[in-house]
């Protein structure tokens, strides 16, 4: 029988695995896939793991799952508006369902989950600071599959996952802002170049050149940047 690692050593291994995710993940969803795969390894009693997080409209979405049974069980929770994963997210507490056949909090969901071959569920909220990103959950095909050690592991695992997701979302937001800034600077530079072209072509001062450029854009019903690009393009296009 394989000796069980002390909890501190096992957690160190879990966090060491997670600490490298930001080095390879390019999107939030790719991070979540790695998290669910790691969760499946950490909880050998589980038949599947998944992450529920808010979608674009704020509605719950399974952004990563290890199998179809996880996707089906999650989808049913979203359709019914209730279930252990949603409760963990909303209440910011660990939900431990020892045996779905004895559970009466979500009758519609539990009956269908049992039909899917599920008997135990453990869900932990992904919380960092004052923000709750969703929930990390593992499903098992037998009752009483998860112990107190698993509760502690999933709680810490979900907290670490929340930090990673928060960091990736912040990085994505910074990247979008940088792209927007570069686009704005490029538009400004193109307009400045076009103004210079008009100044040289029509022998007018800068203010008049800008007004002429803006008038051309208005008459053509095109954005100022598009009109400016056309003016610059015509100036640098070689003559035949």
* pTM, 2 dp: 0.63
Neighbours of 64 (CB within 10 A): 24
| DSSP state string for 202-218 | HT--HHHHHHHHHHHHH
123-182 tens-digit pLDDT: 999 988 778 788 999 999 999 999 998 998 898 888 877 877 777 665 555 555 455 556
Neighbours of 202 (CB within 10 A): 10
The pLDDT tens digits for 216-227 are 888 888 888 888
The tens digit of pLDDT for each residue in 37-69 reads: 887 778 888 999 999 987 767 788 888 899 888
Q: Give the tens place of pLDDT for each residue, 72-108.
A: 999 999 999 999 999 999 999 999 999 999 999 999 9
| Band of pLDDT at residue 24, cut at 50, 70 and 90 | very low
pLDDT of residue 202: 85
Q: Does domain 176-236 have CATH number 3.40.50.2300?
A: no
- Answer for the pair 195, 209: CB distance below 8 angstroms, yes or no: yes
Q: Where are the domains of the chain?
A: 7-172, 176-236
User: CATH class for domain 7-172?
Assistant: alpha beta
């Amino acid at each position: 029988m394989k000796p069980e690692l002390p909890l501190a050593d096992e957690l160190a291994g879990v966090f060491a695995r997670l600490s490298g995710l930001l080095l390879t993940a390019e999107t939030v969803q790719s991070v979540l896939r790695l998290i669910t795969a790691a969760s499946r390894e950490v909880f050998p009693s589980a038949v599947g793991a998944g992450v529920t997080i808010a979608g674009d409209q704020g509605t719950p979405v399974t952004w990563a799952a290890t199998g179809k049974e996880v996707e089906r069980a999650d989808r049913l929770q979203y359709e019914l508006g209730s279930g252990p994963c949603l409760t963990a997210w909303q209440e910011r507490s660990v939900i431990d369902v020892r045996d779905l056949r004895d559970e009466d909090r979500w009758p519609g969901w539990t009956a269908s989950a049992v039909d899917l071959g599920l008997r135990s569920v453990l869900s932990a909220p992904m919380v960092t600071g004052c923000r709750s990103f969703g929930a990390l959950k593992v499903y098992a095909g037998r009752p009483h599959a998860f112990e107190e050690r698993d509760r502690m592991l999933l709680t810490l695992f979900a907290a670490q996952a929340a930090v990673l997701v928060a960091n990736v979302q912040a990085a994505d937001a910074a990247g979008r802002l940088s792209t927007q800034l570069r686009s704005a600077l490029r538009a400004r530079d193109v307009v400045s170049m076009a103004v210079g072209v008009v100044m040289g072509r029509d022998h007018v001062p800068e203010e008049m050149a800008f007004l002429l450029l803006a008038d051309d854009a208005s008459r053509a019903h095109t954005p100022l940047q598009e009109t400016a690009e056309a003016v610059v393009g015509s100036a640098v296009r070689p003559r035949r």
